[in-house]
């Protein structure tokens, strides 16, 4: 790749949840475009493995980070500055699935856990990255992973939908506050995406998940990949988006612009996933922080007899 095509040359980025899925794909793309990247993740073995696989040596490093812990995020920012001398980009991407229940059966502890990772984690990432950028006079970029579930209700369980709406609100508030300091804050909101964790959660392989995703997507003839989301994040991280802030970059093939309640009756049979029972998918509730932006299960998420939140 010619140096004049390196869109992040000389920049330093932190990616939470960067050891797999969208996070890993973005880590590799950022590195390929000349950025030094810190993977901040709770999966130590995978994080070290990804970091070691990126060349040249030292271009990418790993730090253990539970985004619920403010000290961990502060340490990740300190690591960026002490190791690479600066921080230009924060991609707040870590997340969990949360409980697959409707509001009537919602367990408060499970709700708290979901909000702690998505909302508290995002707020702390913005806080500490923003502080470092403002202190250094860096015209930085902060990108947060939201979801199409931050746009409409009914696309994901109650806790996840709540959390992603809050992430979008946080990004807007931060964009308004930090704009005067030259720091941009934006979101990316992907549609259903076959990441390793998403496929594991549904108990299906990537091909099956993509088949169901494509069946209900508005845009036909294309399949959403992690590379599509990473490309959007790259744009928002780069100087090419220098006047873009407070924006929610929706990557859904136009699906959220369609009102599925007023289209022809037989359309519902081809919605992305439908209810879990309709296609027999098994959901394993996520307990690790990772890239889980693809947790979209359109259909009804009311309480179902016999389903436990635990």
Specify whether the CB–CB gap between 295 and 160 falls below 8 A.
yes
User: Among 95-104, 169-178, 212-221, which stretch is predicted with the lowest mean pLDDT?
Assistant: 212-221
Give bridge partners of residue 16 from the DSSP assignment.
Answer: 40
Catalytic positions: 160
Neighbours of 285 (CB within 10 A): 17
Q: What is the CATH number of the domain that holds 92?
A: 3.40.50.720
106-128 mean pLDDT: 98
User: In 46-136, where do the E strands start and end?
Assistant: 60-64, 89-92
Full residue range of the structural domain in which residue 69 is found: 12-251
Give 149's Cβ-side CA count (13 Å radius).
29
Buried/exposed code over 121-154 (b: 16+ C-beta within 10 A; e: otherwise): bbbbbbebbbebbeeeebebbbbbbbbbbbbeee
Residue 268 lies in a domain: no
Provide the CA 290 distance to its chain's centre, in angstroms.
8
Q: Domain tally for the chain?
A: 1
- pLDDT for position 289: 52
Give bridge partners of residue 91 from the DSSP assignment.
Answer: 15, 143
Q: What is the pLDDT of residues 193-236, one digit of tens each?
A: 887 767 766 678 888 888 888 877 889 999 999 999 999 999 99
The radius of gyration computed from the CA coordinates of the chain, to the nearest angstrom, equals 19
Specify whether the CB–CB gap between 146 and 189 falls below 8 A.
yes
Residue 106 lies in a domain: yes
- pLDDT for position 186: 99
Residue 289 lies in a domain: no
- φ/ψ (deg, to 5) at 134: -65, -45
84-94 mean pLDDT: 98
Residue 175 lies in a domain: yes
Give bridge partners of residue 15 from the DSSP assignment.
Answer: 39, 91
């Amino acid at each position: 790749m010619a140096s004049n095509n390196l869109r992040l040359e000389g920049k330093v980025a932190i990616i939470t949840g960067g050891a797999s899925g969208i996070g890993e794909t973005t880590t590799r793309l950022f590195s390929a475009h000349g950025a030094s990247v810190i993977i901040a993740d709770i999966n130590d073995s995978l994080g070290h493995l990804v970091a070691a696989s990126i060349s040249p040596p030292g271009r990418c490093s790993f730090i253990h980070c539970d985004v619920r812990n403010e000290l961990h995020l502060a340490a990740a920012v300190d690591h960026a500055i002490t190791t690479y001398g600066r921080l230009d980009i924060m991609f707040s991407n870590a997340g969990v699935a949360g409980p697959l229940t409707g509001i009537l059966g919602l367990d408060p502890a499970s709700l708290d856990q979901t909000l702690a990772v998505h909302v508290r984690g995002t707020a702390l990432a913005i806080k500490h990255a923003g502080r470092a950028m403002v202190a250094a006079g860096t015209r930085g970029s902060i990108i947060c992973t939201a979801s199409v579930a931050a746009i409409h209700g009914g696309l994901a369980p109650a806790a996840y939908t709540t959390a992603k709406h809050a992430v979008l609100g946080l990004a807007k508030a931060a964009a308004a506050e930090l704009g005067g300091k030259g720091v941009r804050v934006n979101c990316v909101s992907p549609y259903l995406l076959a990441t390793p964790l998403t496929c594991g959660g549904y108990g299906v392989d990537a091909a099956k998940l993509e088949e169901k995703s494509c069946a209900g997507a508005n845009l036909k003839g294309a399949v959403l990949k992690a590379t599509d989301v990473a490309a959007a994040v790259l744009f928002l991280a780069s100087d090419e988006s220098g006047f873009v802030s407070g924006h929610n970059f929706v990557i859904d093939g136009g699906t959220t612009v369609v009102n599925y309640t007023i289209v022809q009756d037989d359309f519902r049979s081809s919605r992305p996933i439908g209810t879990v029972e309709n296609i027999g998918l098994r959901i394993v509730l996520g307990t690790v922080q990772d890239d889980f932006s693809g947790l979209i299960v359109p259909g009804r998420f009311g309480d179902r007899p016999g389903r436990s939140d635990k």
